[in-house]
Structure 1
């Protein structure tokens, strides 16, 4: 398409606007030094017949890389904001746990806060007396014995048996869960957080905040146990 044909396709207002831009750039050649990000968006033709010039190809590749990096930056910012929001909620929960006077209050605080602030439907805290003589015959202990040796939390869907043991009548509606190991003197257990959404707790989900929550709850329960003892 010739330059004259292009000019014929444009309206008078557009031609005047482009002329004004051209005049401004001619009068301010340092414009792109002050706005280097605009350079990556420019399309500068290179006469190469029907072939694409190497420079034009390189510029196209760089533009694609820039778009990819921008998307990654947006994703990282979104994750950082989400992590910050979760950290604030964990801090608030920690303060409420400090004020709890007994294990029953600890579980009540966890259930109310995790369901409300973390958008879940079920929370349960189960502790198992592993040093008891009949611990090996307890089906609840047997079902979670391998998990109790874990150092980190576990996320994902559970089978019906484990859902039933942890969440009782709610177990049938739980699509995914986070299992957080709890450690205290002479006992071990699990803090289970369940959601109807199968994608809420995925197997590839990061567990740093969940692990911190487990440490906080474990320490609180140890403190209460020593006071009672």
Structure 2
């Protein structure tokens, strides 16, 4: 092969050689000291050692931000867990089953700062026939609630159940929580109720938000409201 046929050495070749031959810098330490590159924080040139130090500082700063976010989210989750515990205690203390729907709604508004809350339950015992929390439920709503195996979060798309809210036109985002025996994702169990949460803030119940806490809320409400059946 002639010299003209030898492929030129590329930057990738040089990088691979340096990665695979760390002893090169031990034998040629002066190369490291002589190399200068542009600083990302200005037009001045810095040594390779300085650039590495800057990269490490940036990496540490990024890790610090991640730790701060984790601490903040941890604090928020702990606060929500505390409120859920208090809500569960309040529901367990209700002696009259007929007062449970109101207790569920009040807890949502007072503890979790949800502006609008509505609740309907069906398939109740004859004692509660005609109660406000059993009215205005169509077969379509029942089928829709049974089809949900997790909380729905998103914009107000005009769901029929939205009409239960006290000021439905102002609800820009919704969370719809199916109520059923057992776990919320037990698809074989038909829903016996639906909890509707509404907010004027379009981002309050965003479609991309996590729903773990909402699912636990639905299960707690379901457990308490099962006394109406």
Q: TM-score range by the shorter chain?
A: 0.5 to 0.7
Say whether 1:56 aligns with 2:50.
yes
What SS does structure 2 have at the residue aligned with 1:145? helix
More helix by share: 1
Aligned counterpart for 1:180 among listed residues 177, 182, 188? 177
Q: Which residue of 2 aligns with 1:65?
A: 59
Which range moves more in the overlay, 49-58 or 197-206? 49-58
Q: Deviations over 1:25-71 (max 9, x none)?
A: xxxxxxxxxxxxxxxxxxxxx77567432222222111111111111
2:222 to 218, 221, 226: 218
Q: CA deviation at 1:165?
A: 2.7
Q: Distance in 2 between matches of 1:64 and 1:186?
A: 53
**Pairing partner for 1:157 from 152, 155, 158:** 155
Q: Which of 197, 203, 210 is the matching residue for 1:199?
A: 203
In structure 1, what is the Cα distance between the partners aligned to 2:137 and 2:99?
A: 26
Q: For the structure 1 residues 97 and 193, does the alpha-carbon distance in structure 2 shift closer, same or farther, using more than 3 Å as the test?
A: same
SS in 1 for 2:180: strand
Name the structure 1 match of 2:120.
126
1:114 corresponds to:
108
Contact residue 160 and residue 171 of structure 1 kept, 8 A: no
1:84 to partner: Cα distance? 0.4
TM-score (norm. length: structure 2) = 0.66
* Cα distance in structure 2, aligned partners of 1:108 and 1:217: 11
Q: Paired residue for 1:145?
A: 143
Contact 1:163/1:174 (<8 A) preserved: no
Change in 2 beyond 3 A, CA 1:61/1:175: same
Distance 2:180 2:141 in 1: 17
Tell me the distance in 1 between the aligned counterparts of 2:91 and 2:137. Answer: 30
5+ residue gaps, structure 1, are 1-45, 130-137
Q: What residue is the counterpart of 2:82 in the other structure?
A: 88
In structure 1, the partner of 2:5 is none
